[in-house]
Amino acid sequence: MPITNMPQKATAEDAPRISRILTRAFDDDPMMRWFFPDEASREASLGRYFSTIFTRQYVRHGVCERTGAAAAFWVPPEAGATAVPDAETIAELQNILGDRAELFGAAVETAGEHTPGEAHLSLALIGADPAAQGQGQGAALLRSGLAKADAAGVPTYLESSKPSNVPLYEHFGFAVREEFSLPGGGPTLWGMWREPRTPAAG
């Protein structure tokens, strides 16, 4: 596997790189397009959004990994209660979202209502630069996180906002747990669950 595909821990210093990667990765994502409908400003807004949640939230309370052109943010079971935005982060996100901030808040609340109550590892976000499509960088990050979940014997949960990604996650052992729509005419999300695998089960 080329060195650019090897997952490594992401730090706050990686924020510019990760922000660029995720901005490109989520440009066509239905939920991101719903939050940021203005095409002229979407790229800049997404960059600020991903930089904010990475530096102020996930790099502090989650497990963040990256390759040369992909990034993933995970939240372990013990960090679930702390990996939420503080008041200053919320204020910054509201500033970035502008008149979509209320919809964003309602979406976060709805997603929270559908989050499983069982202890689990959460895949908060994963994305690869489309320019690196087919290189396996996103898959490498997914395998890395799932290996940690399997070693700890904990299940994994994610929400996919892109229907074409559902079969990909199913390939890695996830199953659709439920399907729900965000309020205010928002897009559909697929809540997906994966039980931990033992070495014998592969």
| Residues contacting 162, CB < 8 A, separation 6+ | 29, 30
pLDDT at 149: 96
Q: What is the CA radius of gyration of the chain?
A: 16
Domain boundaries defined on the chain: 3-201
Share of the chain above pLDDT 90, in %: 83
The CATH code for residues 3-201 is 3.40.630.30
Q: What is the pLDDT of residues 91-126, one digit of tens each?
A: 999 999 999 999 999 998 999 899 998 999 999 999
Q: Exposed, middle or buried: residue 50 (CB in 10 Å: 0-12, 13-18, 19+)?
A: buried
pLDDT tens for 51-107 read 999 999 999 989 999 999 999 999 998 876 655 677 888 899 999 999 999 999 999
Retrieve residue 181's tokens: 């729509």
Reported pTM? 0.92
Whether residue 1 has pLDDT greater than 50: no
Task: Determine the average pLDDT of the residues in 10-20.
Answer: 97
Closest CA to 34 of 20, 21, 49: 49
